[in-house]
Structure 1
Amino acid sequence: MKELIYYLPIALIVVSNVFYNICTKSTPQTANPFLSLFITYLVAAFITLILFLFTGLEHNVMNSLKELNWTSLVLGICVVTLEFGYITAYRFGWNISVASVVANITLGILLIPVGILFYKEILTPNHLVGIGLCFTGLFFINR
């Protein structure tokens, strides 16, 4: 049971990412991407407000706001640029089956030094083999 709970967040990420990429790829070419994102974030804001009210009843809003730091602001910027990047990539002709793979492998490779330097993560020989395979995959997928 503990192992199942461990993988549930990853399953949520994967399922959400499938629908995320389908929706992003299906955003009409003629739609203004920023208006599309604005509507997206209105829906997201409504859902997160409902979830906050449902799960955060033991805290009041002011105390919860005091617990936040700079990360919420920067994450907001990152989410907008991430979404705009995907919309633009698909509009420029990237295939849905390739864009996310290239972006996520590149992301994983770029986060390796971040994990090592800032979070004291250790690379094992298996990790190094996997990283090598990622580089090989990027080479072949972009040919």
Structure 2
Amino acid sequence: MFMHYFALALVLAAGLGYHMVSRGVPDGGNRFIGVGMAYVVGFIICIICFLFTKQGSLAQEWQAISWHYFLIGIMVPGVEVGFIAMYHSGWQVSKAALTADVLVTSLLVLIGMLVFGEHLSLINLAGVLCCFAGVILLER
């Protein structure tokens, strides 16, 4: 149960920090090299965390890595540069993440149903519609 709430707290803290820092990125410079530098720092932090959490040798841990992490690596720069570009194009920090997250989540609901056979109740679907209504009300 601890990990359940710790994971949520980690996402919340990192997400808040991420958007506050992304909003403050100055204009100018190549955003892709900036994001790349951020991931070098992230890599170093991951190596340090790995050293404290490893369960086997580096070779064993390396062999257990899924190819999905490669795909995540392809997607991440788009998310990072996309949010920075949203903020630089005038999106407010209070609206950008919410709008993007509601749209992504809504598409994931559809994908979950069509690809993974997930089922949603009517109340779940009503919640999705309320999210859309919230995004529309934000723009008013």
Given the two structures, how large is their TM-score scaled by the length of structure 1? Answer: 0.89
Q: Distance in 1 between matches of 2:49 and 2:127?
A: 37
Which residue pairs with 1:98 in the alignment? Answer: 95
Cα distance in 2 for residues equivalent to 1:117 and 1:60? 40
Please state if 1:133 is matched with 2:130.
yes
- Partner deviation per Cα, 1:99-120 (whole Å, 9 max, x = no partner): 0010010011000022223333
* 1:90-138 Cα shifts (integer Å, max 9, x gaps): 1111110100010010011000022223333221122111011012122
Deviation at 1:142, TM superposition (A): 3.2
Residue 27 of structure 1 is matched in structure 2 by: 25
Paired letter, 1:7: Y
SS of aligned partner of 1:34: helix
* Aligned length, in residue pairs: 140
Q: RMSD in angstroms over aligned alpha carbons?
A: 1.6
* Cα drift, residue 12 of structure 1: 1.6
Query: What residue number does 1:76 align with?
Result: 73
| Cross-structure match for 2:139 | 142
Identity of aligned residues (%): 29
Query: Greater CA deviation, 120-129 or 106-115?
Result: 120-129
SS of residue matched to 2:91: coil
State yes or no: 1:54 paired with 2:52.
yes
SS in 2 for 1:123: coil
Structure 1 consecutive aligned stretches of length 4 or more whose deviation exceeds 4 Å: none
Q: 1:114 to 1:89 in 2, by over 3 A?
A: same
Aligned to 2:114: 117
The structure 1 residue matched to 2:10, chosen from 9, 12, 15, is: 12
Q: Which amino acid aligns with 2:104?
A: L
Cα distance in 2, alignment partners of residues 109 and 79 from structure 1 = 19
